[in-house]
């Protein structure tokens, strides 16, 4: 990470998620956040620094004390904040309804971030034993919806 935008987002995400652990007792930032960003860069090597910044912060509004204002106060771009807001789950909807709404009407940048998160979660499902089958189906269904949107966007001239 040589870019200032990416470095600032990574440092902020590390700070926001300090002390959080995954269901397996691993450091949340190192195991999940960095994993999602790695997946994002693997799947979309040409994505912008602001999309990568959103990848680092994709769980900030949902899982930490952060607000859009506090992200802005720390120098995060309005674009990145907007995409983070889009990938923050709307708890008034079921997961599948929320994913369907995001895949149908979300920005392509938010879909890219959520797709990387989805693929990373799906790739690491082997670690879970509780609700494994239910979660596999959930991530597979969400992945199909997000992939459909990505395919339609990428095939347009």
Q: Which CATH number does the domain housing residue 21 bear?
A: 1.10.3210.10
Q: Quick one: pLDDT at residue 22?
A: 87
Q: Quick one: pLDDT at residue 132?
A: 67
* pLDDT confidence of residue 1: 40
Predicted pLDDT at 24: 79
Half-sphere exposure of 37 (CA within 13 A, CB side): 25
What ranges in 44-131 are assigned the alpha helix state H?
A: 49-56, 60-63, 68-73, 78-87, 95-105, 108-123
Q: Are 52 and 78 in contact (CB under 8 A)?
A: no
Give 76-98 pLDDT, tens digit per residue: 999 999 999 999 999 999 999 99
Task: Give the pLDDT of residue 137.
Answer: 84
Q: Which residues of the chain have pLDDT under 50?
A: 1-2
Site of tokens 């940048």? 109
Q: What is the pLDDT of residue 2?
A: 46
Q: What is the pLDDT of residue 56?
A: 98
Rounded Cα gap, residues 62 and 59, in angstroms: 5
- pLDDT at 155 (0 to 100): 75
Indicate the number of domains in the chain: 1
User: Domain residues for 101?
Assistant: 4-154
pLDDT for res 40: 97
Calpha distance 57→132 (Å, rounded): 26
């Amino acid at each position: 990470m040589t870019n200032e935008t990416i470095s600032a987002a990574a440092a902020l995400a590390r700070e926001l998620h300090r002390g959080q652990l995954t269901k397996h007792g691993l450091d949340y930032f190192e195991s999940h956040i960095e994993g999602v960003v790695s997946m994002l860069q693997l799947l979309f090597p040409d994505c912008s620094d602001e999309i990568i910044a959103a990848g680092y912060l994709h769980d900030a509004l949902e899982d930490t004390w952060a607000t859009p204002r506090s992200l802005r106060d720390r120098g995060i771009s309005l674009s990145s904040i907007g995409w983070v807001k889009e990938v923050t789950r709307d708890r008034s909807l079921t997961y599948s309804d929320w994913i369907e709404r995001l895949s149908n009407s979300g920005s392509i940048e938010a879909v890219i971030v959520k797709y990387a998160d989805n693929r990373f979660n799906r790739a690491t499902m082997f670690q879970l034993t509780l609700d494994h089958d239910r979660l596999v189906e959930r991530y597979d269904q969400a992945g199909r919806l997000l992939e459909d949107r990505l395919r339609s966007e990428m095939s347009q001239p």
